[in-house]
């Protein structure tokens, strides 16, 4: 990428007057002194993509001039043929089939950061200089660099975003996967202040992607392709980001579609590493969907069902998913039982649910204690004083934790959320059984309260880490943009904060603080209350287990 100098963050008035801006907010000091109306500051998104296109254009013109001097040596090559030039000129940026104008080499290796760097370099350096940049040429690189999480450890890979880079490279520019990626990227970036113009493009592109996927589903080969399944998962992400009136039904329909395709692909998909990874991603978001909608998990057509051949899975993230795979069924059974008044005939069912929840909780506890040391949080500070205003305080009293990166912290928070869910089921069953007068639940109930509060305290301890770029060493190493890294951390916090704030036995002041952090995430990153709720209920950015 061409370096064009440090970008100016001063207001537009100071820039036009060619004077130094003190960058005070909301109005700079220079404008106040001269009694001028301060027009405001450029947003970080614009600064990231400031003048790089112009710089690349100048570089391309120099290269073009150099090549014209040596044109005789290139005569007869396919690149310099009149037919090729005419074909290049005939491309239009408004044509969806030509959205991507760069030739990407085939990719067969597993996803890694070097691959992403190469992908990003191509996006930035292969744009013809005579074309006006379409919005997706800004949004897609920004989305890939800052929001497509590629964990540095294979044992933490479990979601679908980490599969996007290699499959995006293999797919055709006119594919549903490219269109879906463009729609999600523009929807994500459209939440930045001053970039709402991208949202209309996201809606239009999303419509094109839906039409293309309907065509692909009629094709016997494409209907079973990895890129088709991934496109549908991206649709679910789009629905949560946009949070329209139809989001809930549309999100569920997309997840159901991905599950149906995965079942149709059968056990043959386990023979290919990429297809197997896609199966795991669908399995994880399926658990989210089933619990959200209080429905049991559909059977998978195989000897071991959805566990498949992962019974001895060494990947820590996927082991967590396997432990949680029965939690949707536990929720359905618990909700059905506790909605009824006590009935001695149902006591055996209550005890069965209770023991099942205790077993899952024990497995979760053992899972955490088998994690490698680098997964564990480090305590970097201790806060002793209660904040005067809990709704605006950035820290909750107690230990302050940091992690290797946000991806690992999110997985560990999913473990905590899962244990919170188990404790709530246990407490509900104990309460129901106590109405019969023959069950002493005091000690078990007190233990559940202790574990639940411990999980909420540990979630509270990691909030500053998620929200502060300076506490995220991996984000700095990867060169992520500050606001985007903090936004990703904030998105990852939404679900744990939402669950914790709705745990009744948590002290009210702490619940107010947790709700205040949710509100702060919405304000800082341009999310409406509806979008915060949608992210909380779907937990899609990390694709982890999700419970009420």
Q: What is the pLDDT of residues 49-83, one digit of tens each?
A: 343 344 444 444 454 454 444 443 333 333 333 33
Here the tokens at position 104 are: 């990407």
Contact 360, 327 (CB under 8 A): yes
Structure-model confidence comparison of residues 383 and 331, the more confident one: 383
Here the tokens at position 523 are: 């304000």
Q: Residue 339: is it exposed, middle or buried by C-beta count within 10 angstroms (0-12/13-18/19+)? A: exposed
Contact 409, 466 (CB under 8 A): yes
Q: Which residue has the tokens 């690149």?
A: 79
Q: What is d(CA 45, CA 143) in angstroms, rounded to the nearest whole number? A: 11
Mapped onto helix, strand or coil, the DSSP state of residue 260 is: helix
Q: Per-residue pLDDT for 98 more than 60?
A: no
| DSSP, res 268 | G
pLDDT of residue 57: 45
pLDDT, one tens digit per residue, over 315-374 is 788 788 888 888 888 888 888 898 888 999 999 999 999 999 999 999 999 999 998 888
Cα–chain center distance at 77: 44
Query: Rounded to 5 degrees, what angle do the CA atoms 418, 300, 293 make?
Result: 45
Buried b (16+ CB within 10 A) or exposed e, 294-315: eeebeebeeeeebebebeebeb
Task: Identify which of 120-129, 225-234, 521-530 has the greatest average pLDDT.
Answer: 225-234
* Closest listed residue to residue 421, CA positions, set 397, 456, 390: 456
Q: What is d(CA 175, CA 165) in angstroms, rounded to the nearest whole number? A: 14
CA distances 419 to 257, 368, 424, 539, 544, Å, are 29, 11, 9, 16, 14
Q: Per-residue pLDDT for 122 more than 70?
A: no
pTM: 0.62
Q: What's the farthest any 2 CA atoms get from each other in the chain?
A: 97
- Kindly state the average pLDDT of the residues 304-318: 74
DSSP bridge partners of 401: 379
- Kindly state the average pLDDT of the residues 80-92: 34
Pairing of strands 378-383, 398-402: antiparallel
Q: Which residues contact 380 (CB under 8 A, 6 or more apart)?
A: 400, 401, 402, 471
Structure-model confidence comparison of residues 10 and 530, the more confident one: 10
DSSP E strands in 340-431: the ranges are: 378-383, 398-402
Q: What is d(CA 160, CA 144) in angstroms, rounded to the nearest whole number? A: 13
pLDDT of residue 504: 80
- Kindly state the average pLDDT of the residues 369-392: 90
* Closest listed residue to residue 229, CA positions, set 169, 195, 180: 180
Q: Per-residue pLDDT for 126 more than 60?
A: no
Q: What is d(CA 401, CA 411) in angstroms, rounded to the nearest whole number? A: 15
Q: What is d(CA 15, CA 327) in angstroms, rounded to the nearest whole number? A: 58
- Kindly state the average pLDDT of the residues 139-151: 73
Contact 80, 74 (CB under 8 A): yes
Q: Which residues contact 3 (CB under 8 A, 6 or more apart)?
A: none
Mapped onto helix, strand or coil, the DSSP state of residue 203 is: helix
Structure-model confidence comparison of residues 174 and 98, the more confident one: 174
């Amino acid at each position: 990428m061409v370096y064009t100098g440090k970008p100016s963050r001063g207001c537009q008035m100071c820039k036009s007057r060619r004077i130094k801006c003190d960058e005070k907010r909301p109005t700079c000091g220079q404008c106040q002194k001269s009694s001028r109306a301060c027009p405001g500051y450029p947003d970080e998104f614009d600064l990231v993509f400031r003048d790089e296109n112009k710089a690349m254009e100048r570089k391309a013109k120099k290269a073009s001039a150099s090549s014209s001097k040596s044109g005789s040596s290139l005569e007869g090559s396919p690149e310099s043929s009149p037919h090729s030039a005419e074909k290049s000129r005939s491309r239009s940026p408004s044509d969806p089939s030509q959205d991507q104008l760069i030739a990407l080499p085939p990719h067969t290796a597993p996803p890694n950061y070097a691959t992403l760097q190469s992908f990003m370099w191509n996006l930035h350096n292969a744009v013809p200089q005579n074309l006006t940049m379409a919005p997706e040429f800004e949004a897609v690189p920004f989305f890939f660099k800052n929001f497509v999480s590629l964990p540095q450890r294979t044992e933490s890979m479990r979601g679908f975003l980490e599969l996007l880079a290699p499959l995006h490279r293999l797919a055709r520019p006119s594919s549903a996967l490219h269109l879906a990626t463009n729609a999600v990227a523009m929807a994500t970036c459209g939440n930045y202040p001053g970039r709402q113009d991208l949202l209309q493009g996201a809606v239009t592109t999303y419509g094109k992607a839906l039409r293309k996927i309907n065509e692909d589903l009629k094709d016997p080969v494409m209907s079973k392709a990895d890129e088709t399944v991934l496109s549908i998962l991206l649709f679910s992400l789009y629905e949560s980001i946009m949070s329209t009136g139809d989001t809930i039904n549309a999100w569920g329909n997309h997840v159901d579609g991905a599950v149906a395709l995965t079942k149709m692909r059968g056990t043959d998909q386990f023979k290919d590493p990429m297809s197997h990874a896609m199966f795991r991603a669908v399995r994880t978001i399926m658990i989210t969907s089933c619990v959200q909608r209080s429905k049991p998990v559909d059977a998978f057509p195989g000897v071991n069902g959805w566990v498949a051949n992962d019974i001895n899975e060494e990947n820590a993230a996927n082991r967590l998913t396997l432990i949680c795979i029965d939690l949707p069924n536990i929720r359905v059974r618990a909700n059905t039982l506790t909605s009824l008044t006590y009935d001695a005939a149902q006591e055996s069912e209550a005890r069965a649910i209770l023991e099942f929840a205790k077993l899952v909780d024990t497995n979760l506890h053992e899972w955490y204690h088998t994690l490698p040391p680098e997964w564990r949080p480090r305590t970097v500070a201790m806060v002793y004083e209660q904040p005067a205003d809990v709704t605006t305080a950035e820290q909750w009293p107690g230990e302050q934790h940091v992690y290797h990166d946000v991806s690992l912290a999110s997985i560990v928070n999913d473990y905590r959320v899962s244990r919170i869910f188990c404790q709530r089921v246990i407490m509900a069953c104990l309460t129901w059984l106590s109405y019969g007068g023959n069950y002493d639940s005091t000690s078990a109930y007190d233990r559940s309260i202790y574990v639940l509060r411990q999980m909420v305290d540990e979630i509270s301890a990691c909030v500053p880490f998620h929200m502060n770029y300076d506490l995220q060493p991996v984000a700095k190493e990867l060169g992520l943009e500050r606001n985007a890294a903090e936004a990703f951390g904030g998105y990852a916090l939404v679900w744990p904060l939402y669950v914790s704030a709705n745990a009744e036995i948590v002290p009210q002041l702490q619940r107010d603080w947790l709700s205040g952090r949710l509100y702060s995430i919405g304000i800082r990153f341009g999310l409406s209350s509806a979008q915060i709720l949608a992210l909380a209920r779907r937990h899609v950015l990390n694709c982890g287990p999700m419970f009420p």
